Amino acid sequence: MLENKIKNQTEKEKTRTLTNTGVINFKNRLSLVLEGLSGNAFAKKVGMSEAVIRDYLSGKTYPSLNRLAIIAQKCNVPIEWLVTGKGKCRLLSDSDTQDSVYIPFHHLNNMVKSYSKIESIPFDINLIRHQGCNYEDLVAVWAKGDSMEPTISNHDILIIDKAHYKPIDGYLYAVEYEDQISIKRIQNQGANLALLCDNPKYPAIIGDKHEPQEFKIIGHVVYLLKDLN
């Protein structure tokens, strides 16, 4: 029992360190440096096995320093940016002089009419670099209702990365469902895919993976901007 407690504390400390340094988002930046290549083609480019690259892209493992150096050299990107997301990278299409970019709101049938005049929101470009995102893949959405309380409240703003829409367990995604935009937590349940609400009073939405879905995943939630009013 004590061993399990120590192991859990060690894992939590490891996750905290990876998060604070930006290393935890290495997989996002690696996806960017693939520049459209398949995992197999990229593995050949950097002289590594496809299985190793697949583990890096899934976040299952992280490369050693010498492998980081090889990837950075082969792909002509700064190793600091590759590891932490800090610094500038040629793969980011924003201007080096920009401090922020304007992220457009994703509207669906004018669902939030009281905010319809707001077309975009300025966002710190360093935060985008930190996540390894391409700002052209980002959209903002308004949270509506209390289905994700206490995590997300009504009128919070969420930044969504449309390039990452493949469902991963436990992650938050924006989805189009019943003519509305909703934020849900994804869970794979065997042959089914469940959209979960953090508020227990709301039921989960269950869909068969092998059948046409009633919902469409817009993308992965990368930032949450809280409304404190």
Largest CA distance in the chain: 57
Whether the CB-CB separation of 165 and 158 falls below 8 Å is answered with: no
- Could you read off the pLDDT of 128-144 as tens digits, one per residue? 777 777 778 888 988 88
Whether the CB-CB separation of 23 and 84 falls below 8 Å is answered with: yes
Burial (CB count <10 Å: 0-12, 13-18, 19+), residue 99: exposed
- Could you read off the pLDDT of 149-197 as tens digits, one per residue? 999 998 899 999 988 888 888 899 998 877 788 899 988 888 888 889 9
pTM check: above 0.75:
no
Each residue's pLDDT, cut to its tens digit, for the chain (229 residues) gives 555 555 555 666 766 766 766 777 888 888 888 887 888 889 999 999 999 999 998 888 999 999 999 999 999 888 888 888 877 777 765 444 356 778 888 865 444 444 444 677 888 877 777 777 777 888 898 888 899 999 999 889 999 998 888 888 889 999 887 778 889 998 888 888 888 999 999 998 888 877 777 788 889 999 999 877 6
Instruction: Specify the pLDDT at position 215.
Output: 82
